[in-house]
Structure 1
Amino acid sequence: MSSESSPPSTPPSSRSSSLSTSPPKTPPNLHQNSADPDAKWLVQKFGGTSVGKFALKIAADVVANYIDDNKVAIVCSARSGSTKALGTTNLLLRAASEALRGKKPAGSSASGSATPSRGLFGAGGSRNGNGSDHSQSPPTSPSQPNRSRSSSGAASKSLFALTPLNNDSDAEDTRPEFAITIDLIREEHVEAARSSIRDPDILKELEEEIEHDCEWLYNFLLAAKIIDEISPRSRDNIIGMGEKLACKFMTAVLRDQGVDAEYVSLEDIVPAYEGEINPEKALPQDFYDTLAVALGERLKDCGNRVPVVTGFFGPVPGSLLRQVGRGYTDLCSALLAVGLGASELQIWKEVDGIFTADPRKVPTARLISVITPDEAAELTYYGSEVVHPFTMEQAIRRKIPIRIKNVENPRGGGTVIYPDPETELCTEVSLSNPIPEPASFKTLESLSSYSLEEAHHQHKRLPTAVTIKENVVVLNVHSNRKSVSHGFLAGIFGTLDRFGVVVDLISTSEVHVSMAIGDNLPRKVLDRLVKDLKNNGSVSVHHDMTILSLVGKQMRNSVGIAGLMFTTLAKGNVNIEMISQGASEINISCVIEARDAIKALNLIHQSCLQIKPETTRGRVGPWLF
């Protein structure tokens, strides 16, 4: 069977219990986006943890404060669960795996009928010429009885407790394994809805949507179980259900809090691409440029309503997960910002922004108000979770600033990834214009966040931040001198390519190569890799290592930073296994033993960034001793 075959059903774009054929009218008391024709778009992306834990705060303290002066668009990731294991994406992946295990249910079918409908979430589907939507109800399995979803009380019962043709007492045992996992997804979302939404009508409609989507997912996985295959495109559709549920939940919360929100599904948004595409290779930039235009045009149809957009944007050549990975929601928000010509892309997390070091490990770490794209990319590569470089590139290349903000501290200024790499020092004046902070947030503190002290700090050509990447293995290969140098290197790189190993750092000479790789290979795979590398020479393996990276654009023309870094480590009795500097010259990295990581991080933060530790009772922190 072809790897691209998939179950004969497509995800439901939208549906509702209402039978009206036109978009629902907006109550006069709902808060809408700015009607000012000159108002700029502002894209806000919220991660799964933020949607899962702070939905009410997002609605009342974030979105409501921005829409008076801006046209706000919201992108949501799949909700996190009450525990990490109950996160929506993890549960969806589990359900997909379970669908391919065990026996196929007897007498099951994946065929069904379509029923168009509209309502609170009706505006999110594909539109025809007159603005109405086409939506598809999920197919119903003959082994599953029809169930009424007309009342919110129906959500309290398991949709997937299948009633068998006979009335055996062990009927529960006939349920597919994945049905139990789908029940967990449903229960997590229903519980969140009931704890967040006050309006009974909105709650009822949201619960019906949750039931409907989970019913679709059940039948989709049932079909996959029957054909015993989940193609890459089918897996995309399964994972995309997490964003759909999260956005419907967030739309309902916003409307319950008085914000006129509209659910927007992007599963049919990907336009036909006229260029040549190889599904096995990365998609060309032209494809993303075309997609950005389509995204922008779709959202402009929302009028003054606040669009709540699914991070999942439908099937792409070669599969969305293969081409982009699980970070596609961030990419979607960046493309949306490009398509709308947004004044700013805001990525809301549970931290105040980017710090000079991990504040959990370095007590003196401070918030960085402004950082360059190159610096942010280096920090992402070497351990700090900022923004994926490819995602960041989409916004930066169109001169759109990216701001990292804290959903728990919306009044904080956050960190701005400023898109002008030619500007050595971003001034307060150059930063103030493109940043649409609401009037209620414009305190003296936020307006002067890029202080003269920081400007002086940058003019001194000091590094910007220091970070560590843990769980690293170092492989040292020493040539047996039987091969010439180019054959030696070719043999090593060819072996790494066969095993699909990504090298974080590398240091080479004519007869010696040191490589730092992630310690995520199974032991048997690592053993085979080492065995094959021994064809090129002797190999030594060092476990429990850490990459320490000093990052800063100002380092490029500074003198003595590398010497200061290594002298500091030597004085702290920290041994260096290998040293590497990137071609960009804004990053100096070395590999040290994991047991010295925290001490080294604090030492470098104090000496190279010249940020002194606070004293406690006349003594400095214990990491100095």
Structure 2
Amino acid sequence: MSAPAKLRGNPPAPAPIVVQKYGGTSVGKQLHMITGNIVPQYLNDGYRVVVVCSARSGNTKATGTTNLLLRAALEAIRPKGPDLSSSVPSLRNSPSQSPAPGTPVTPRQSYLSGSLSNLRMTASGVGLDKMNGDDDRQLFDDTVDQIKRDHLEAAQKTIVNSKEVLQEVEEELEYDCERLRGFLRAAQIIDEISTRSKDIIMGVGERLSCRIVAASLRDRGIDSELVSLESIIDWDVLGDEAEVASKSADGPPQLGQEFYSKLSQRLGERLAECGDRVPVVTGFFGVVPGSLLAQVGRGYSDLCAALCAVGLSAAELQVWKEVDGIFTADPRKVPTARLLSTITPEEAAELTYYGSEVIHPFTMEQVIRAAIPIRIKNVENPRGEGTIIFPDTVSADAADETHTAKTTVAPSAAPYAPASLPSSVLEPHLGPTAITIKDTVVVLSVHSNRKTISHGFFARIFGALDKHGIVVDLISTSEVHVSMAIHGEIRKSVLDRVTRDLKVVGEISISRDMAILSLVGKHMKNMVGVAGKMFTTLAEGNVNIEMISQGASEINISCVIEERDAVKALNLVHLKLLHQAPQVFS
């Protein structure tokens, strides 16, 4: 698609905007590619770039920044050292107390001029940190030290051109970590970590990550600005949501579209203030009713990127991972898996729920509503095409109009160009699109004591599950029997309590070490016999099926099998139903 012609005398059209979301692993391991290759290339090709970052991940999940922060929060209410209640008067008389990690910080110049020792004293509330020597160290002190050490080492490794930039970011990282330490000590004194406090503590991870990314860009001569969103949500954005939350008696209400629309508008206004600078945005966007973790989950940074894209009317939202895109199956388990050039949001949501880490469903809902394509890209292979997530129900004319309105640079002129959406790309996949497996599943079966299921049978079952916070992935029912597939990582004590509560309903049986095999395709209903072929293939491969579930829409055909047969089942079904040459569009 060629760029629209410029009319003589009209002001030049603004450059198209690309919002790039980078996960913790990408920031932790491929920062040199992000700041030294990907972002500069898009800028050189005429795009405006917005970078959204998650908290850095370590070599293992347990050593990731978010997990370390959650561990520090737990350690704050398990004090190792002496009782700190005697320090409360000193806090009360202190002329300067530690701000919470989620509150706006003072301008950079106000604290860079001071020494690091003074910063430690201020951040931890008149020097509670190490005030009494090593004997006053708490469990969380070692965790905070590890977080600080990891980020300082990362900054020193990536910032190699400017000593001034390195010194500046080291002081900023030191400040944030000592401020976190002070916040944890305050939480220890009151012996409580609320959901709000936990959100604030988690938000420190994104701030630390973005400080390093922004500094790395400046080190390479790209003017950047850290955009911290801890205070972006106020009463104007919350609207009725805050009132509803205060009146709710049954847990936090789900945030509605009105909230997300207001927030995306506010984000667009804030990012527009950056001008020609590259905004580096924290994936954490503040405290919401009921906690961000409870409302959105660990994928909140994806949602933040989506809201930024909507607020800026971006040409494309890019989610950068360590894979080339979405495949017909996990390529680590199925050697014949193919890269999908396009996939619908419904299919991507199903794959995410049933085992494939694609993208948070809330993210897709927001950008697709605004007709913004989502592109999954590989940070290790930036020139790869990736996979486009976009509805196949959009007409070609509408897609072309949307893309023309947002894109002023011809994709053919830029090797990293955002997605154009010709009609061929939007043609639906006929039949299955992909297959995935969800491991570590437990099947809980309830057999009624009566000849038929009595009134209230299901209500009592799901009431018991709801009481213990258990989510059911699949359910299969017969005249007197109900089988439910649930995630197997549930604690044994919780499962024992559920079993005890359900014994009054009927006989209980539990099958462990199971897996859910899911065949996904929005248009499978247009093909006759897909389910039959799938189950026949499994039977021919001696794969026993524990339970079957299929919705009326036929977007997902799922069954529960033994976990030891998972890889074999994946390959068998993929070979029978998905192993074909990619469809070539003219």
Task: State the 1:447 CA deviation.
Answer: 9.1
3-state DSSP class of the match of 1:162? coil
Residue in 1 that maps onto 2:157: 195
| Pick aligned residue for 2:148 from 181, 186, 190 | 186
Does the aligned pair in 2 maintain the 1:400–1:419 contact within 8 Å?
A: no
1:269 pairs with 2:269: no
Q: CA deviation at 1:554?
A: 2.0
User: Could you say which residue in structure 1 is the equivalent of 2:56?
Assistant: 79
Structure 2 match to 1:472: 441
In the alignment, which residue of structure 2 is the partner of 1:56? 32
Preserved contact between residue 471 and residue 519 of structure 1 (Cα < 8 Å): yes
Quick one: distance in 2 between partners of 1:335 and 1:532?
Answer: 42
Give CA deviations for 1:382-428 in whole Å, capped at 9, x if unaligned.
Answer: 100011112211111111111110101000011110145355x9999
The aligned residue for residue 606 of structure 1 is 575
Correspondent of 1:527 among 472, 496, 500: 496
Residues 140-155 of structure 1 mapped to structure 2, 5 A cutoff: 147=117
Q: How many pairs are equivalent?
A: 543
Please name the residue that 1:92 is paired with.
69
In the alignment, the residues of structure 1 paired with residue 204 and residue 229 of structure 2 have an alpha-carbon distance, to the nearest angstrom, of 12
Q: Which runs of 5+ in 1 are unaligned?
A: 1-34, 116-123, 151-158, 165-170, 613-625
**Separation (CA, whole Å) in 2 of partners of 1:501 and 1:483:** 26
Within the candidate set 528, 538, 543, 1:574 is matched to 543
Amino acid in structure 1 at the alignment position of 2:578: L
Please give the alpha-carbon distance, in whole angstroms, between the structure 2 residues aligned to 1:505 and 1:224: 40
**Residue 107 of structure 1 is aligned with which of 78, 87, 94?**
87
- Distance (Å, rounded) in 1 between the aligned partners of 2:416 and 2:466: 52
The 10-residue stretch of structure 1 (473-482 or 211-220) with the greater mean CA deviation from structure 2: 473-482
Per-residue CA distance 1:103-131 (angstroms, 9 max, x = gap): 4335365465569xxxxxxxx9969xxxx
Whether the aligned pair in 2 keeps the contact of 1:233 and 1:319 (CA below 8 Å) is: yes
| 1:290-369 correspondence to structure 2 within 5 Å | 290-369=262-341
Q: 1:175 to 1:512 in 2, by over 3 A?
A: same
Taking a change above 3 Å as real, the CA distance of residues 478 and 493 of structure 1, as seen in their structure-2 partners, is same
Distance 1:340 1:447 in 2: 17
TM norm structure 1? 0.80
Structure-2 change in CA distance of 1:180 and 1:195 (3 Å): same
Give the CA deviation at 1:535. 1.6
Shift in Å, 1:82:
4.2
Higher deviation after alignment, 266-275 or 56-65: 266-275
State the partner residue of 1:555. Answer: 524
Aligned residues of 2:218 and 2:224 also touching (Cα < 8 A):
yes
Does the 8 Å contact 1:125/1:265 carry over to 2? no
2:5 maps to which residue?
A: none
Cα distance change, pair 375–110 in 1 and its aligned pair in 2 (3 A): farther
Contact 2:524 2:554 in 1 (8 A): yes
Query: Which aligned pairs between 1:27-66 and structure 2 lie closer than 5 A?
Result: 37-66=13-42
CA–CA separation in structure 2 for the residues paired with 1:583 and 1:134: 57
CA contact (8 A) 2:316 2:419 kept: no
User: Residue 430 of structure 1: CA displacement?
Assistant: 9.0
Distance 1:246 1:256 in 2: 15
Query: Post-superposition shift, 1:541?
Result: 1.2
Q: CA deviation at 1:302?
A: 0.6
* Alignment match, 1:176: 138
Q: Return the structure number with greater helix share.
A: 2
Task: Work out the CA distance in 2 between the residues paired with 1:442 and 1:328.
Answer: 26
- 1:411 paired with 2:383, answer yes
1:370 aligns with 2:342: yes
Task: Quickly say closer, same or farther: Cα 1:230–1:428, change in 2 above 3 A.
Answer: closer
**Corresponding letter in the other structure for 1:45:** K
Q: Name the SS of the counterpart of 1:400 in structure 2.
A: coil
SS of residue in 1 equivalent to 2:439: strand
* Counterparts of 1:449 and 1:367, CA distance in 2: 18
In the alignment, the residues of structure 2 paired with residue 536 and residue 323 of structure 1 have an alpha-carbon distance, to the nearest angstrom, of 32
Following the alignment from structure 2 to structure 1, what is the Cα–Cα distance between the partners of residues 459 and 164?
A: 66
The one-letter amino acid of 1:46's match is Y
Instruction: Output the amino acid matched with 2:22.
Output: F
Alignment of 1:118-517 (within 5 A): 147=117, 162=130, 164=132, 171-198=133-160, 199-272=162-235, 273-277=238-242, 278-279=244-245, 280-422=252-394, 439-441=413-415, 461-481=430-450, 484-517=453-486
Pair 1:374–1:339, CA change in 2 (3 A) = same
- Secondary structure in structure 2 of the residue aligned to 1:147: helix
Question: 1:484 deviation in Å?
Answer: 4.6
Q: Call closer, same or farther: CA 1:539–1:195 in 2, change over 3 Å.
A: same
Q: CA RMSD in A?
A: 3.3
CA distance in 2 between counterparts of 1:475 and 1:59 reads 49
Secondary structure (helix, strand or coil) at the match of 1:553 reads: coil
The answer on whether the counterparts of 1:52 and 1:79 sit within 8 Å (CA) in structure 2 is: yes
